[in-house]
Amino acid sequence: MSNDQDVLRSEFDLDFTYTRTYGPVMSQFFTALKNQKVMGIKTSDGKVVCPPVEYDPKTAEDLTDLVELSAEGTITTWSWVNEPMAKHPLQKPFAWALIKIDGADTAMLHAVDAPKDQVKTGAKVKIRWNEERVGWINDIACFELA
Amino acid sequence: MRDIAIISYAQTPQLRDAGAQNDIELVMDVTHKAMDKVGMTIDDIDFICSGSCDYLGGAAFAFVNAVDALGAVPPKVESHVEMDAAWALYEAWLKMQMGHTDAALIYGFGKSSHCEMRMTPTLQLDPYYYSPLWPDTISLAGLQARTLLDQGKYTEEDFAKVVVNSRKQALSNPHAQLKGDVTVEQILAEDYMVEPLRMSDCCPVTDGASSLIMVTREKAEQMIAEGKIEKAAYITGLDHRTDTHALGSRDISIATSASIAAEKAGVGKGSIDIAEVYAPFSFQELMLKEAMGIGENTKMNPSGGTLAGHVFMSHGLERIGEVADRIIKGEAGRGVAHATSGPCLQQNLVAVLEA
Residues of B in contact with A100 (CB under 8 A): 248
Please answer yes or no on whether B142 and A138 come within 8 Å at the CB atom.
no
Percent of chain A with pLDDT strictly greater than 70: 95
Residues of B in contact with A89 (CB under 8 A): 133-134
pLDDT at B65: 85
Contact B190, B27 (CB under 8 A): no
pLDDT at A70: 96
Closest residue to B146, CB basis, from A26, A78, A89: A78
A2 pLDDT higher than 60 = no
Q: Is B248 on the interface with A (CB under 8 A)?
A: yes
Task: Determine the residue of chain A that is closest to B124 in CA distance.
Answer: A16
pLDDT at A3: 63
Please answer yes or no on whether A77 and B252 come within 8 Å at the CB atom.
yes
- Taking the C-alpha atoms of residue B252 and residue B248, their distance in angstroms, rounded to an integer, is 8
Percent of chain A with pLDDT strictly greater than 90: 84
ipTM of the complex as predicted: 0.94
Q: Is B246 on the interface with A (CB under 8 A)?
A: yes
Whether A91 is in a domain gets the answer yes
- Taking the C-alpha atoms of residue B212 and residue A11, their distance in angstroms, rounded to an integer, is 42
Whether A105 is in a domain gets the answer yes
Residues of B in contact with A97 (CB under 8 A): 143
Q: Is A57 on the interface with B (CB under 8 A)?
A: yes
Q: Is B313 on the interface with A (CB under 8 A)?
A: no
Q: Which structural domain, as residue segments, surrounds residue A77?
A: 21-145
Mean of pLDDT over chain A: 94
In tens, the pLDDT along A42-72 reads 999 999 999 999 999 889 999 999 999 999 9
Q: Is B56 on the interface with A (CB under 8 A)?
A: no
Span A90-114, average pLDDT: 98
Query: On the CB side of B65, how many CA atoms lie within 13 Å of its CA?
Result: 18
pLDDT at B73: 86
Whether A11 is in a domain gets the answer no
pLDDT at B35: 98
Whether A78 is in a domain gets the answer yes
Whether A42 is in a domain gets the answer yes
Please answer yes or no on whether A49 and B249 come within 8 Å at the CB atom.
yes
What's the pTM?
A: 0.95
A1 pLDDT higher than 70 = no
A9 pLDDT higher than 60 = yes
Contact B173, B326 (CB under 8 A): no
Please answer yes or no on whether A82 and B195 come within 8 Å at the CB atom.
yes
pLDDT along chain B (355 residues), means of 10: 95 96 95 97 96 89 86 90 97 96 97 95 95 98 98 98 98 97 98 98 98 97 96 98 95 98 98 98 98 96 98 98 98 98 98 98
Residues of A in contact with B191 (CB under 8 A): 82
Q: In order of start, what are the domains of chain B with their CATH numbers?
A: 4-116+205-233 (3.40.47.10), 128-201+236-354 (3.40.47.10)
Phi, psi of B303 (to 5 degrees): -80, -15
Q: Is B254 on the interface with A (CB under 8 A)?
A: no
Task: Determine the residue of chain B that is closest to A77 in CA distance.
Answer: B143
Give the residue among B83, B62, B90 at the shortest CA–CA distance from B315: B83
Q: Would you call B316 helix, strand, or coil by DSSP?
A: helix
pLDDT at B1: 84
Task: Determine the residue of chain B that is closest to A110 in CA distance.
Answer: B133
Please answer yes or no on whether A78 and B192 come within 8 Å at the CB atom.
no
Q: What are the residue ranges of helices labelled H in chain B?
A: 23-37, 54-57, 85-97, 137-150, 156-170, 184-188, 217-225, 256-265, 282-292, 315-328
Q: Is B202 on the interface with A (CB under 8 A)?
A: no
Best of A43, A55, A79, A81 to disrupt the B interface by mutation (most B CBs within 10 Å)? A79
Span A67-96, average pLDDT: 98
N-terminal to C-terminal alpha carbon distance within chain A: 65
Q: Is B143 on the interface with A (CB under 8 A)?
A: yes
pLDDT at A16: 66
Whether A118 is in a domain gets the answer yes
Q: How many structural domains is chain A composed of?
A: 1
Closest residue to B247, CB basis, from A22, A89, A98: A98
Whether A15 is in a domain gets the answer no
Whether A93 is in a domain gets the answer yes
